[in-house]
Amino acid sequence: MIPKRFSRSFRLPRPYKAVARLGSGGEGECWRAYDPLLERDVVAKCYSSGGIARDQPVLMQSLSLLAQINSPLVPTVHAVVVRRRAVWVISRFVEGQSLVDRGGLPVERQLDWVIELLRQLDALHMEGLLHGDLAPGNVVIDTNGGAQLIDFGLITPLGKPVMGAGTEGFQAPEHRARQLAEPSMDVFALGALIIWMISGDPPKVLGRFGGALVTHIPSPPLDLDVAHRRLWRSAEAMVTPNPSQRPSLSRIEQTLLAVGKTGAIPVAPGRSPGSTQSLAPGIPAAGIGTPGSTQNPATAKKFAGSEPSRAPAEGKFDAPVGGLGRWARWHHRLWLLLPALAVAGFMAVESLQRSVFITVADWQIAERGLSAPLITEETLLQMATTAAQAHWRVDSDGRDEQLALSLTCDRSSCQLSAEHRGYGPVHWHQSTVDQETSAMLWTAAITDLMDTASRHER
């Protein structure tokens, strides 16, 4: 049944004939159609009257720019038809399945698909356009196994206010606020898509707490290989709420190509492999396993995975060969390493001496929640200013569960991480906030954490 609001525009403009409806939403409908004159299948998308009408001049400008792009990376726009208060866009049809319909995404192809989508977005940005709605339903895996970006309904010229609302979970915070279109919005969406492909859930913007914008990132699977762990870390950098801290598409492409070739990821100057998003402008990023933060060794071991060690071949030993041989060479190198080892040891001892460990014992685990004493702003400030690193950790043992929480603060930020034993790290909550953030943030994060644990138990 055709919705009433689209009934007037249901008839496709001539000469196109409707084949099947591909989808519908708040802005219009999308159809697979047939062009009898050129004997080819096309996509006919209708932008109906209502919300799109006031943006029609911007839409027409966007479509004009899109039609001028001569690139195999971008679907060709064949025609634009304006009828009554509806705008029909006729474009190339891509045979295949969307990521949503396809299900069971092969891990070995995910990196290739991400790089293909990245290059398509870059082609749009080079022409001054923002896609604005990168989401699983708008990515088609064609018959050749390649990823194709479709649905250019929210395409917007860069520097103009973004049009309409994209897909929930794949929108940058500034996109939701209808700010001016910037390439960083598509970067956020691509990072959210990577997280969705790997974990099954997109990131979620929780809102503002104490002036800082907070984003929740789901936990990565425990069985990720090295390349996909690096891919996950790249995605975390892409979904930082602060757009100025997101990497550019060119930088992301270099990183992902390196991941595909070596399984290792080059680190930009000033950033660490495990760096997480800064949630307020001007706040340095801090991450689990990075300088300025400390992670529970048990948790770190689980996330790092177990890398196979290379055993020596049978009959081969590291024995001296030919007089001093190999031992002499290593002996010489050890003498060179001694000064560096001494400095590293001194720094480690100094760091331990300047660390403060705070234990909170009065946590209570209920069946479906957790009540906690308020952590005041003064407590956070005291922790962050009296030690290079302050670690706040609680191990709560329940009848059927054990929950380990860890709060790490340095001089500029604090971070909460958690691990639910027995189920692994069901929730890896990485949030970087300023020191003056209210205790409401930690209460909300812990409540969300316990909800996640409850879902795993059920």
- In the prediction, which pLDDT does 3 show? 40
Provide φ and ψ at 281, rounded to 5°: -55, 135
Name the residue with higher pLDDT: 108 or 299: 108
Using pLDDT thresholds of 50, 70 and 90, give the confidence band for residue 125: very high
Q: Which of 187-201, 220-234, 245-259, 435-449 has the highest mean pLDDT?
A: 187-201
Whole-angstrom distance, CA of residue 428 vs CA of residue 451: 13
Contact 187, 246 (CB under 8 A): yes
- In the prediction, which pLDDT does 322 show? 42
**Mean pLDDT to the nearest integer, 304-311:** 36
Q: Which of 180-189, 355-364, 388-397 has the highest mean pLDDT?
A: 180-189
Pairing of strands 390-397, 402-409: antiparallel
Tens digit of pLDDT for each residue in 205-252? 766 655 556 677 877 777 778 888 888 888 888 988 888 889 999 999
Q: Give the residue among 299, 275, 293 at the shortest CA–CA distance from 384.
A: 293
* Of 80-94, 295-309, 417-431, the least confident: 295-309
- In the prediction, which pLDDT does 55 show? 65
The pTM of the full predicted model, rounded to 2 decimals, is: 0.57
The proportion of the chain whose per-residue pLDDT surpasses 70, expressed as a percent, equals 49
Name the residue with higher pLDDT: 85 or 288: 85
Contact 400, 365 (CB under 8 A): no
Task: Answer whether residue 422 shows pLDDT above 60.
Answer: no
* Of 10-14, 66-70, 292-296, 325-329, the least confident: 292-296
Tokens 């990521």: give the residue.
99
Q: Is 44 helix (H, G, I), strand (E, B) or coil?
A: strand
Contact 185, 162 (CB under 8 A): yes
Count the Cβ atoms, other than its own, within 10 Å of residue 316. Answer: 7
Using pLDDT thresholds of 50, 70 and 90, give the confidence band for residue 117: very high
* Peptide bond connecting 202 to the previous residue in cis, omega within 30 degrees of 0: no
* Of 19-23, 156-160, 193-197, 324-328, the least confident: 324-328
The DSSP secondary-structure symbol of 458 reads -
Whole-angstrom distance, CA of residue 450 vs CA of residue 444: 10
Task: Answer whether residue 187 shows pLDDT above 90.
Answer: yes
- In the prediction, which pLDDT does 116 show? 92
- Going along the chain from its start, the domains and CATH numbers come out as 4-92 (3.30.200.20), 96-262 (1.10.510.10), 297-301+355-457 (no CATH)
Distance of CA 195 to the CA centre of its chain: 5
Whole-angstrom distance, CA of residue 293 vs CA of residue 286: 7
Tens digit of pLDDT for each residue in 241-263? 888 889 999 999 988 888 765 44
